[in-house]
Amino acid sequence: MQESLEKNPLRLFSEQKIIFPKRVWGKFRKIKWIIMTCTLFVYYFAPWIRWDRGPQIPNQAILIDMPNRRAYFFFIEIWPQEIYFLTGILIFLAVALFLSTSLVGRAWCGYACPQTVWTDLFVWVERIFQGDRNSRMKLSNAPISFNKIWRKLSTHIAWIVIAILTGGAWVFYFNDAPTLLEQIINFDVPWSVLSWIVVLTFSTYLMAGFAREQVCTYMCPYARFQSAMFDRDTLIISYDEFRGEPRGKHKAGDSWENKGHCINCTECIQVCPMGIDIRQGLQMECIACGLCIDACNKIMKKINLPAGLIRYDTEKNKGRRFRNEKEKKGLLRGRTYSYLSILLILSAAILYMLLNRSILELNVLHDRNPLFVKLSNGQIRNSYDIKILNKSFKSKKYSLSIEGLKNSKIKIQGIESLSSNNLPVVANSVGHYRIFLIADKNKEVRKKVIFNIKELDDEISDTVENIFISGKY
């Protein structure tokens, strides 16, 4: 056994096989180009969209302001206290992905996944400098020469430029884009920003330039749990073996009797960015990009046979064709209706929270040490930290009052000129005040009190419940 293992060591993974996908043109390739162009345009140019929110407020339409703990998306502003919005959006996107998988398999992977989009872009650049599949394979196997060096070097320089632009565009979402661009031009970029650009540049260059299909096969968890969402009604890339087998070469003028329509041209394999043979059935590596369909349909047209030998299809429809039954066209079923219902409920909940979002919030924290102080006149004093969240884009003044405690008064610590009836808070910020609540000693050691905050110029208000402690308990 030991001797056998030494001669044939156990391999836990297969070595990477370099894939040279062939250029193909067709309906699905057009869709991929359109989606790639749109997604790249949005990614690179979205940080430059302006949105006026008033003075002293960022005017970048999409901005994640980490130092000030804010997230802006056009007219929507999310505070750290409103993390539930982000949670709701993430759940919505997850369910939408489940719905997409249940309907059309891994179409997200094949058309809109960032890994697919940037890999397509890198392959396109590679073709510009090195040619199509056969030329790239020949160049890869050729000995070192000036022609090989300049073509390879030009390819990698172009990849690095794209990777730098990708990393730079990402950090624009976390900083004011014009300001950061000026800093980059003047070589005055903060080290924290520069480090992120370097990391994202390297990861883009590595993932889209070298790892490619390895990311989808070994790194992405989606390929692993997609099988749990597939069923016999899921639309997948499918080879019609009833029509295609037995496969073999075909000469012009020969009869198709006792022959399948697959002529074993391997075009479907050559164009596949994952390097798989779809004729072997559905495989984990398949990203449902549809390029094999375009390649096969092109061959079918050349030999005057109907298209669709490889196509988007369901397992149930394949069985119906084999039994000469009518195919079912609709994709909606109980499972998809469930996903749609969840999406509608989530959408309604998020929309309701956005429309009813308060621009005023009050937080009250009782001091723990000391819990209370007995004054010389016999009254009891409690200390509180008050935070007033002004979520509007205008400076406001507020009035603070107390319910549930008789003969009480409020004092603002450290600011004698302020009263509880006139507490200013600047726009889009948190007003932090420390107050003393003084009242007569109560029979109840632990008295429930209600803090009320109200905007002076409007009817907007908020209430918070807390306690007043007047003795040991």
User: What is the DSSP code string of 27-76?
Assistant: HHHHHHHHHHHHHHHHHHHGGG-B----TTS--BSEEEETTTTEEEETTE
CATH 2.60.40.10 segments of the chain: 360-469
**Closest-CA residue to 155 (of 184, 174, 131):** 131
The CATH number of the structural domain formed by 360-469 is 2.60.40.10
385 near 414, Cβ under 8 Å?
no
Sheet hosting strand 70-73, strand order edge to edge: 62-65, 70-73, 76-78
The sign of the dihedral angle between the CA atoms of 356, 95, 320, 236 is: positive
380 near 390, Cβ under 8 Å?
no
Taking each continuous run of H as one helix and of E as one strand, the counts in the chain are 16, 14
**CA 63/CA 46 separation, integer angstroms:** 10
| Other CB atoms within 10 Å distance of the CB of residue 315 | 15
User: 303 by DSSP, 3-state: which?
Assistant: coil
List all residues 6 or more positions away from 398 whose beta carbon is below 8 Å from its beta carbon.
360, 388, 423, 424, 425, 431, 453, 454, 455, 456
Q: How far apart are the first and last CA of the chain?
A: 75
User: 24 by DSSP, 3-state: which?
Assistant: coil
Query: pTM of the full predicted structure?
Result: 0.84
- pLDDT tens for the 473 residues of the chain, in order: 556 656 666 566 666 678 899 999 999 999 999 999 999 999 999 999 999 888 778 899 999 998 888 899 988 888 888 888 888 899 999 899 888 888 888 889 999 999 999 999 999 999 999 999 999 999 999 999 999 999 999 999 999 999 999 999 999 999 999 999 999 888 888 898 999 999 999 999 999 999 998 898 888 887 777 767 788 888 889 998 888 888 888 777 777 788 889 999 999 999 999 999 999 988 888 899 999 999 999 999 998 899 989 999 888 888 777 777 777 777 788 888 999 999 999 999 999 888 888 889 999 999 988 889 999 888 899 999 999 999 888 889 999 999 988 888 899 988 777 888 889 998 888 999 999 999 888 777 888 999 999 998 888 899 999 999 888 76
